[in-house]
Amino acid sequence: MTLLLTSFAGLLLVGTPIAIAMIAASGLVIWLEGVPLTLVAQRVFAGLQSFPLLAVPLFTLAGSLMNESGISERLFGFTRAMVGHIRGGLAQTAIVGNVFLAGISGSSVADTAATTRVLVPELERNGYSRAFGAALSACGGTLGPIIPPSILMVLYAWQANVSLGALFVAGILPGLVMAFAMAMVIAIVARLRNYPTSGSFSGSILWIQFKRAIWALMMPVIIIVGFRMGAVTATEIAGVAALYSAVVGVFVYRTLKWSRLPHILATTARETAVILMIAGAASPFSWILGIEQAPQLVVSTVQSITSEPWAVLLILNIALLVAGMFMETIAVMIILVPILIPLLQSMQIDLVHFGIVLLVNLVLGQLTPPVGVLLFVSMTIAKVSMTKLLREIWPFLLGLVIALLLITYVPHLSLWLPKLIGP
The 8 Å CB, 24+ separation contacts for 27-31 are: 27/284, 28/3, 28/4, 29/3, 29/4, 29/288, 30/284, 30/288
- For residue range 38-92, list pLDDT tens digits in order: 888 888 887 777 666 777 788 778 777 877 777 777 878 888 888 877 878 888 8
* pLDDT tier at 185, thresholds 50, 70, 90: very high
Q: What percent of the chain has pLDDT over 70?
A: 94
In a domain, 97, yes or no: yes
In degrees, rounded to 5, the angle at the alpha carbon of residue 334 between the alpha carbons of residues 354 and 324 is 70
In a domain, 172, yes or no: yes
Alpha-carbon distance values, 208 to 203, 204, 213, 247 (Å): 9, 6, 9, 22
In a domain, 14, yes or no: no
In a domain, 293, yes or no: yes
- For residue range 352-389, list pLDDT tens digits in order: 999 999 999 988 988 887 667 788 888 888 888 888 88
DSSP 8-class letter at 251: I
Q: Which domain holds residue 335?
A: 37-421
Query: Total structural domains in the chain?
Result: 1
Any residues with CB less than 8 A from the CB of 403 and at least 6 apart, and which? 174, 177, 178, 180, 181, 360
Distance CA 67, CA 405 (A): 32
In a domain, 235, yes or no: yes
pTM of the model: 0.81
* pLDDT tier at 403, thresholds 50, 70, 90: very high
Nearest Cα neighbor of 23 from 271, 287, 269 is 287
In a domain, 2, yes or no: no
In a domain, 11, yes or no: no
- For residue range 292-349, list pLDDT tens digits in order: 776 677 777 777 788 788 888 998 888 888 877 777 777 788 888 888 888 888 888 8
Average pLDDT over residues 201-211: 84
In a domain, 109, yes or no: yes
Q: Using an 8 Å Cβ cutoff, are 185 and 88 in contact?
A: no
